[in-house]
Amino acid sequence: MPDIRNIVILTGAGISAESGLATFRGPDGLWEGHRVEDVCTPEALARNPALVHRFYDERRAKLTEVTPNAAHAALAELDRAWPGELLIVTQNVDDLHERAGANRMLHMHGELMSALCAACGTSKPWHDALPPETPCPFCNAPALRPDIVFFGEMPYEMDRIDAALRDADLFVSIGTSGAVYPAAGFVQTARHIGARTLELNLDSSAGSIYFDETRTGPASVLVPDWVKEVLQL
């Protein structure tokens, strides 16, 4: 393996599947049971806030029933042990990476365990149900909403992600279908700057053609094996 110093890792719903959290596009995926237009757009929130808040309340409550799996644990170990730059960019809104001990990470699509004020833009940790029109503790407007990046909204920390990708020697994509941009385009940015690219997924994905290598299998097996390999570099 050529000299690897800086690693960017993109994770998707597949890394949390073995913890018992539904993915979006697989069999009985979340988008099988709900239309994106009904629960994951600003228009949906304006049209039916009770439905949207309830959808995220149910997913937030589910987090108390699940635990990180071996893939989350392996990435947290890599985060602790890796001497170079490392950034875990997760599309997931669950808190399993943090609970496994990961630090050098960010949630580009927001977090279930956070509430955002639509009036003043402040967010705060939130672990319980979040009814519509909950007053913001900072500005008092009845405007707290789930801190989730809806379709049509700008993902979080894109500047930080772009900077990390520009310096990457290795880009690893884990458990994502490559269906949603801008995340689906990160592999092409990585290739463009000359980084090696590796995909770890249960099956090949829409983006597999862009990767130097795709390994198929469950994340709980592939990720610990890969972390062992990269720590022996």
Q: Which residues bind ligand APR (CB under 6 A)?
A: 12-14, 17-18, 23-26, 29, 91, 109, 175-177, 179-180, 201-203, 205, 218-219
Integer Cα distance of 183 and 48 in angstroms: 28
Measured between alpha carbons, how far is residue 175 from residues 70, 152, 193, 219 in Å?
A: 14, 23, 23, 7
Helix (H, G, I), strand (E, B) or coil at 197: strand
Residue closer to ligand APR (CB basis): 143 or 180: 180
Closer residue to ligand APR, CB minimum distance, 6 or 177: 177
Contact predicate 175/219, CB 8 Å: yes
Which residue of this chain has its Cβ atom nearest to ligand APR in the complex? Answer: 14
Give least dist CB 45 to ligand APR, A.
Answer: 15
Nearer to ligand APR, 137 or 182 (CB): 182
**Which residue lies nearer to ligand APR by CB, 118 or 180?**
180
CA dihedral 164→166→172→175, nearest 10 degrees, is 70
Partners of 172 in beta bridges: 9, 198
Q: How far is the CB of 14 from ligand APR (least distance, A)?
A: 2
Instruction: Check 53, 107, 109, 192 and give the catalytic one.
Output: 109
Query: Residue 202 in 3-state DSSP?
Result: coil
Active site residue 107: no
Pairing of strands 144-148, 213-216: unpaired
DSSP one-letter code for 157: T
Cα→Cα distances 36→25, 30, 59, 157, Å: 11, 9, 15, 23
Closer residue to ligand APR (CB): 123 or 205? 205
Task: Name the burial class of residue 207, with classes exposed (0-12), middle (13-18) and buried (19+) by CB atoms within 10 angstroms of its CB.
Answer: buried
Catalytic (active-site) positions = 109
